[in-house]
Amino acid sequence: MTSTKDQKTLSTAQVHSLQREAPFDLSTYLAERQAQVEAALDSSLPLTYPEKIYESMRYSLLAGGKRLRPILCLATCELAGGTIEMAMPTACALEMIHTMSLIHDDLPAMDNDDYRRGKLTNHKVYGEDIAILAGDGLLAYAFEYVAKETKGVPAEQVLQVIARLGRAVGAAGLVGGQVVDLECEGKLDTSLETLNFIHTHKTGALLEACVVCGAVLAGAEAADLQRLSRYAQNIGLAFQIVDDILDITATQEELGKTAGKDVQAQKATYPRLWGLEQSQRQAQQLVDEAKAELASFEERAIPLMAIADFITNRTH
């Protein structure tokens, strides 16, 4: 039997060889992280007075989902030598921001959707007034939560995270992308350049913040932040291309939201510009480029590599 003392004396090479013997399993990894994020989200937002608004915020925040954004943030923090605990408040904040953007995106003034994550949308359950306020509440709380709950990280790094989150959400990010998306509705002649603008801002900016903020919290150096940023930009675009493909090929049950909405709303999409096959090829190329950015991180990049592959292989 190996004693604890013997285990402690394993060399780095031996540890790496053991890791190779037990191959990385993405679904186990994602399930484990998802459960941690779920528990952290649940305790981040207690139900208190006025219950109506907290209920509505919790309804959407705890409606399930892949939790890909928080998981990316935790993964890059670990890759850069930090811990899950250091990144969890930011991971939760990223999910709060993502959730608020979906609540507002589903409103009658925007996409007017009835279903999200397999459940009725927030405004369908609580009314438009409360849904708008729930989004506002989640957005504000996300920033408060990072500032108050991040422990064991130098204040300057926390400040940098807050600045990056603000930029990713505002007119330079999500909001800007959504504005151009709304402008282009019904315009089938939208150019590739405009389509790329929409998605690098509407989806890419927040994904990039997830990846980069995790590493910032761990104190990563600038060159590594740049590599991770390029990884994120590539998977962000690939993610959107696959989203567009799934809107055509997947069912409402698989998606948990209305399928075929893009065609119905006459939205400019990648499959409309390129066709399904070329869209699939482009997504794959972006994922390959994303993975190439991670080469210098060696074994530490295994989860991020697997997540990149998962993006093109997912069915919902």
Other Cβ atoms within 10 Å of 173 Cβ, number = 23
Residues sharing a CB contact under 8 Å with residue 30, sequence separation 6 or more, in sequence order: 66, 71, 310
| Helix/strand/coil for 303 | helix
Name the residue nearer to Mg ion (CB basis): 83 or 258: 258
Return the one option of Mg ion, ligand FPP, none that residue 307 interacts with (CB less than 5 to 8 A, by type). Answer: none
| Closest distance to Mg ion from the beta carbon of 96 (Å) | 18
Residue 105 interacting with Mg ion (CB under 5 A): yes
Query: By CB under 5 A, which span of 4-12, 62-70, 104-112, 133-141 interacts with Mg ion?
Result: 104-112
104 binds, among ligand FPP, Mg ion, none (CB under 5 to 8 A by kind): ligand FPP
Using DSSP, state whether 245 is helix, strand or coil. Answer: helix
Stretch that binds Mg ion, among 8-16, 88-96, 105-113, 188-196 (CB under 5 A): 105-113
Between 78 and 105, name the residue whose CB sits nearer to ligand FPP: 105
Residue 90's Cβ-side half-sphere holds a number of Cα atoms within 13 Å equal to: 38
| Residues in touch with ligand FPP (CB under 6 A) | 101, 104-105, 110-111, 113, 139, 169, 174-175, 178, 202-203, 257, 261
Place of tokens 């923090």: 77
Q: Tell me if 247 contacts Mg ion by CB under 5 A.
A: no
Please provide the DSSP assignment of 177-194 as one string. Answer: HHHHHHHHTT-TT--HHH
Report d(CA 136, CA 128) in Å as an integer: 12
User: Is 111 a binder of Mg ion (CB under 5 A)?
Assistant: yes
Residue 190 binds which of ligand FPP, Mg ion, none (CB < 5-8 A, kind-dependent):
none
List interacting residues with Mg ion (CB under 5 A).
105, 111
